[in-house]
Chain A
Amino acid sequence: MAEEFRLNLNIKKIKEVLKADVVQGKKLLSTKINGVYASDLVSDVLAYSKSGSVLLTGLCTKQVVISAYLSLFKAIIFIRGKKPNKEILEFAEEKNMIILLTENDMFEACVKIANADSNSISNFVKLIESVEKKNTIIRKFHIDGQDFSNSGLLSTQIKSILQNIGYDPYLIKRVSISAYEGEMNVVMHAKEANLILNANEKEIQIIIDDRGKGISDIELAMQKGYSTATEDQRVLGFGSGMGLPNIKKNSDELKISSEVGAGTKVEMKFYVIQE
């Protein structure tokens, strides 16, 4: 079954992440969105039933706009530089619909919108706290353990947050690899965890605090190839035992504390080198 997507997005946010032009409905930027739908088929758009959604499409004809209106879409995003004609814009204006234009292709556009909304990706990752002060961004996420099909989602999102801030690509790569390994450890070994990302101009810090079985011998876990992963997990290609050594290799500071039967706390730091 398709999951219910609890979006927490408005048009302004979508405009920002897609670097889109709002060609109709400039005054409606704060409009909240109930869902996102990607399609180029008029018949399909007509069959869609969640009102107040945004439609992503590469088909730039009046029929699409009319069917989007009939299906109660609030906004339409035309991808890959497609430009609507006057007739389309007039229809949209009359019906109070918003039209955005982006140069992104469909895949890029979907990914950027999904990344922009921390609740949209899945219920696996939940944003529980978000602080934005001058030069500092703090995000607190919750991760569910044992959900292999969704693993890696959070590190992808962290990568996208850091890219938006504009850190050096090599630094971002090191942080995302480490975050991925940390996330995988939670998925494999723990029941659940909180992940805190604290990024400022001096350093990026990630703290993963899990509730699980804990590590009895941290030194042993730090050795290359050591893994307690079960056979099932190895089949999926995970659990190669490289997790903690890989984080150590990629981070500037690493602190691990653990209590058997309670959980493990992994704190990693990455220095931002000023030019």
Chain B
Amino acid sequence: MHEEKCSHIWEMVDVIPCFIITEKCYHCGKIATYFSTEHTPPIEEYREGVHLWNFMGSAQSIKFNLKCTKCDKLEKFDELLGVMMCTGCDEKCEVNVLLKKLEPKRTWIYVAFGYLPIDEKKQLSPKQISILEDYFNQRRKSSKSTIKIVSHKLVNNIANCYAEIIKDVDMLCLTLPEK
């Protein structure tokens, strides 16, 4: 239990560019998300167990891990697809309730979103989410405001969530010209 004595200062490492892919199953209506490092997303529908996945969209983003600059401890974030800022779109959503409570203190809520469907894929642990929160607050260097990071499990309806995802938009809007 030696390492727990370190008050970690985190830095971002192993940054790789990739695409967040969103798919929908036309049998059960579930949505799936995952990371892909391929340049072209799977446009063709495909079967996986009971699901028939259909490509819905993709967004360019990055994947990363965190490493402590003091003790070299590496915390992997394989289950993290990205973070999105809660804008309070759903009155019934627990994340919104939290935002309303913390907004006067200038504490902003970000949702760490991972692989979907939640009940079928491995999820980020509370400890990982807390490390992620520490990392960004350390980097923010602000005494006036903080951020709080919560799991996407808390979101009332992820398919209708209007949180602002940090991803690259309009990067690849050009279709390759045919020769």
| Contacts from A to B (Cβ < 8 Å) | 40-43, 46, 59, 61-63, 66-67
Contact = CB atoms under 8 A, between A and B. Distances in A.
B171 A46 contact: no
23 contacts: A40-B171, A41-B170, A41-B171, A42-B170, A42-B171, A42-B172, A42-B173, A42-B174, A43-B170, A43-B173, A43-B174, A46-B174, A59-B171, A61-B171, A61-B172, A62-B176, A63-B172, A63-B174, A63-B176, A66-B174, A66-B176, A66-B177, A67-B174
Contacts of A63: 172, 174, 176
Interface in B164-179: 170-174, 176-177
Interface string B13-41: 00000000000000000000000000000
A194 to B, nearest CB: 45
Nearest to B172: A63
Interface of B: 170-174, 176-177
Please report whether the interface of chain B is mostly helix, strand, loop or mixed according to DSSP: loop
A192 to B, nearest CB: 44
Contacts of B176: 62-63, 66
A46 B171 CA distance: 12
A71 to B, nearest CB: 12
A29 to B, nearest CB: 29
Contacts of A59: 171
A41 B172 CA distance: 8
Contacts of B174: 42-43, 46, 63, 66-67
Contacts of A41: 170-171
Contacts of B170: 41-43
Nearest to A40: B171
Nearest to B39: A61
Contacts of A67: 174
A142 B170 CA distance: 43
Nearest to A62: B176
Q: Could you say which of B170, B172, B173, B174 has the most chain A C-beta atoms within 10 Å of its C-beta?
A: B174
Contacts of B173: 42-43
Nearest to B177: A66
Nearest to A42: B174
A140 B170 CA distance: 45
Contacts of A46: 174
A265 B80 CA distance: 65
Contacts of A62: 176
Given A42-B174, A62-B176, A66-B177, 20 more contacts: A40-B171, A41-B170, A41-B171, A42-B170, A42-B171, A42-B172, A42-B173, A43-B170, A43-B173, A43-B174, A46-B174, A59-B171, A61-B171, A61-B172, A63-B172, A63-B174, A63-B176, A66-B174, A66-B176, A67-B174
Contacts of A43: 170, 173-174
Closest 5 CB pairs of A and B: A42-B174, A63-B174, A41-B170, A63-B172, A43-B173
Contacts of A66: 174, 176-177
Nearest to A45: B174
Contacts of B171: 40-42, 59, 61
A42 B177 CA distance: 14
A56 to B, nearest CB: 16
Contacts of A61: 171-172
Contacts of B172: 42, 61, 63
Contacts of B177: 66
A167 B55 CA distance: 59
A73 to B, nearest CB: 15
A232 B66 CA distance: 51
A61 B170 CA distance: 13
A147 B138 CA distance: 41
A99 B172 CA distance: 20
B12 to A, nearest CB: 14
A54 B176 CA distance: 22
A63 B170 CA distance: 12
A174 B146 CA distance: 41
A43 B174 CA distance: 7
Contacts of A42: 170-174
